[in-house]
Amino acid sequence: MIKKKILIVGGTGFLGHHLAKKCKTKYIVTSISLNRPKREKQLKGVKYLIADISKKQELIKKINTKFDIVVNLGGYIDHKNRNLATKTHFNGCKNLINFFKNKNIELFVQIGSSTEYGKQKSPNFENMKGNPKTIYAQSKLNASKYLINFSKKYNFPYVILRLYQVYGPEQKQDRLIPMVINSCLENLLFRCSSGLQNKDFLYITDAINAISNCFNNKKVIGNIINIGSGQKISIKKLILKIVKKVGYGKPIFGVLGMRSDEPKNSYPSIKKAKKVLIWKPKISLEKGLRMTVSYYRNKK
């Protein structure tokens, strides 16, 4: 049986690396990103291309293979830099879909964001109108809108997955959960907000399974689908769970203010994911945190 070819845009990042690791036995996997992976993260059997997706000519120069599936995980999570957010999320997505317009791909998987809903009432449903409150979220929503309109005009096969808070081993240490874990492992006093905001946290393998369930599934085409655990938890309770699992650490709540653009509640309905993707999360927050704490503890 001939293996299908998959291009993972941002294949050296947190999600991209885990997706490439899962897919490399069943697919011929190529990653395209701004930089090569560190030696310890380089996967045998994965081809690595270096290019800036915001520059059309670099895509034309670098991509000379036919692909069946394209997954767009490219871009930086930046809530302040308008130029960077627009360049990597909107322009990058626009360039990619225009490049693959006449390439007969089976599916373009756009990784969207829960922040596209902004401060809409939770649980978020896919038919809610986007109401972004940050530059990053606006760039993501603009990319979603462009992709939807592009598909109407050119019959382009896409699915948009709106991911909530994904965490797990190998995540950058500037993200909430690894930041808290490492502060606890060092038994530090660390400043926090009141932590009263409620969010949804999804373990990395569940997120990757949701993405891969889109492949060879024609029912997903033309859909926006929320991907989360379907369970909310306050940031304060989450931090206290981590403190308990590590055994030490001293969070000081209420010292930092909440971001003005941060919703008090942000969690999804995942009914559509269960129905269309035949997917539901398997890793509980308790188990996911335990495995993540263990990973960072072993790195010390």
Under DSSP, the state recorded for 88 is I
Domain ranges of the chain: 5-165+201-227, 169-200+231-266+283-299
Q: CA 125 to CA 169: how far, in whole Å?
A: 29
SS3 content of the chain, % helix, strand, coil (to 5): 40, 20, 40
pLDDT in tens, 28-72: 999 999 999 988 899 999 999 999 999 999 999 999 999 999 999
Please tell me the class of the 5-165+201-227 domain. alpha beta
CATH of domain 169-200+231-266+283-299: 3.90.25.10
Q: Which tens digit of pLDDT belongs to each residue from 11-37?
A: 999 999 999 999 999 999 999 999 999
Q: How confident is the model at residue 77 (pLDDT cuts 50, 70, 90)?
A: low
Say whether pLDDT at 123 is over 60: yes
Q: What is the mean pLDDT of the chain?
A: 94
pLDDT tens sequence across 163-207: 999 999 999 888 999 999 999 999 999 999 999 999 999 999 999
Mean per-residue pLDDT, 244-256: 95
Same fold, 5-165+201-227 and 169-200+231-266+283-299: no
Write the CB contacts of 221 (distance below 8 Å, at least 6 apart in sequence). 107, 157, 158, 159
Handedness of CA 171, 118, 75, 277 (dihedral sign): positive
Q: What is the pLDDT of residue 82?
A: 65
Residue 81: pLDDT band (50, 70, 90) is low
